[in-house]
Structure 1
Amino acid sequence: MLSRVRFLVATLWAGSLWTVGFVVAPTLFATLSDRMLAGTIAGSLFRVEAWLSIACALILLALLQWGAAGLEAKRRRLLGALVLAMLVCTLVSYVGITPLMAELRAQAPSGVMDEAMRSRFGMLHGVSTLIFAVQSLLAGMLIWKQQ
């Protein structure tokens, strides 16, 4: 029973990552003519996604610690490592990179950044995107290795 709950939580987590990152956010930028508005909405969605990721990680870690008696130790360690790696991705991005990007946006309230700010924002966005891609791949591995 708890293995099914673990699978359900992992699937919810992976599905939410993939939906927000690869469907909703790109659709916002493709549909809205105001890139600032699209970025603001996407930022809000990624903030919700970060909190959902933290909750899913904590639930999965608890299930792996106390509800995985029938799971072989090697698989349990692997699943735990995947969950922790995904949690680290979330924390690095949400606590480390997102505030820096928000600070740059706040320094340009009209949406106009000078070349140096735009370059720094682009670099931070690129790093954040890379971390998100890694987390998304880890999510696929987490689902795959559940069985």
Structure 2
Amino acid sequence: MTVASRLSLILIALWAGALWSTGVSAYVLFDALQDKQLAGSLAGKLFNVVTYIGFASAFYLLTHRLAQFGTAALKQAFFWAVFVMLLLVLAGHFGIQPILEGLKSQAFPADVMQSVFADRFRNWHGVASLAYVFECALAIVMVLKAR
């Protein structure tokens, strides 16, 4: 096995593990902390780290797969799982997160959940959560189709 292939496996493990552990950690933060703003802030920092892991991992994994298999990579479930995961990361980071941050800043100094923006924030947070769950499910495909 080449160094490039070993790095590919490490990135698959890192990205999938980061996705799953951050999802569980966010649940634990909101369950354990009474201050929901603090829980949200900490969870947001964790999700931000996972976003950058996703950017780097997806770029490498897609490039490596194309270099390894050429256009035949386009017929592989692995390639498309990683590609859709990257699209979800991009949509979350450049689309959904700015909306959520905008709603929080409009509500400031109040907690967004205690403001007139609570319903919109809840709806967009639901969209973000569904996208994250779908990304986690695709990570299973990524892991299973790695070889």
Whether the 8 Å CA contact 1:17–1:49 is kept in 2: the answer is: yes
The amino acid across from 1:101 in the alignment is L
Q: Distance in 2 between matches of 1:93 and 1:27?
A: 22
Root-mean-square deviation over aligned CA pairs? 1.9
Identity of aligned residues (%): 33
Equivalent residue, structure 2, for 1:146? 146
Deviation, structure 1 residue 119: 0.7
Q: Number of residue pairs matched?
A: 142
The amino acid across from 1:100 in the alignment is I
Deviation, structure 1 residue 76: 6.2
Deviation, structure 1 residue 75: 7.8
Whether the 8 Å CA contact 2:77–2:141 is kept in 1: the answer is: no
1:50 and 2:51 matched: yes
TM-score w.r.t. length of structure 2: 0.88
Q: Relative contact order, CA 8 A, sep 6+: which one is greater?
A: 1
Deviation, structure 1 residue 65: 2.0
The amino acid across from 1:136 in the alignment is C
Q: Residue 61 and residue 74 in structure 1: after superposition, are their counterparts in 2 closer, same or farther (change >3 A)?
A: closer
Equivalent residue, structure 1, for 2:10? 8
SS of 1:146's partner is coil
Equivalent residue, structure 2, for 1:107? 106
The amino acid across from 2:27 in the alignment is P
TM-score w.r.t. length of structure 1: 0.88
SS of 1:107's partner is helix
Equivalent residue, structure 2, for 1:82? 81
Equivalent residue, structure 1, for 2:94? 95
The amino acid across from 2:14 in the alignment is L
Q: Distance in 1 between matches of 2:34 and 2:124?
A: 23
1:20 and 2:29 matched: no
Whether the 8 Å CA contact 1:28–1:38 is kept in 2: the answer is: yes
Deviation, structure 1 residue 81: 1.3
Equivalent residue, structure 2, for 1:137? 137
Q: Distance in 1 between matches of 2:17 and 2:75?
A: 22
Deviation, structure 1 residue 72: 9.8
Q: Distance in 1 between matches of 2:39 and 2:141?
A: 30
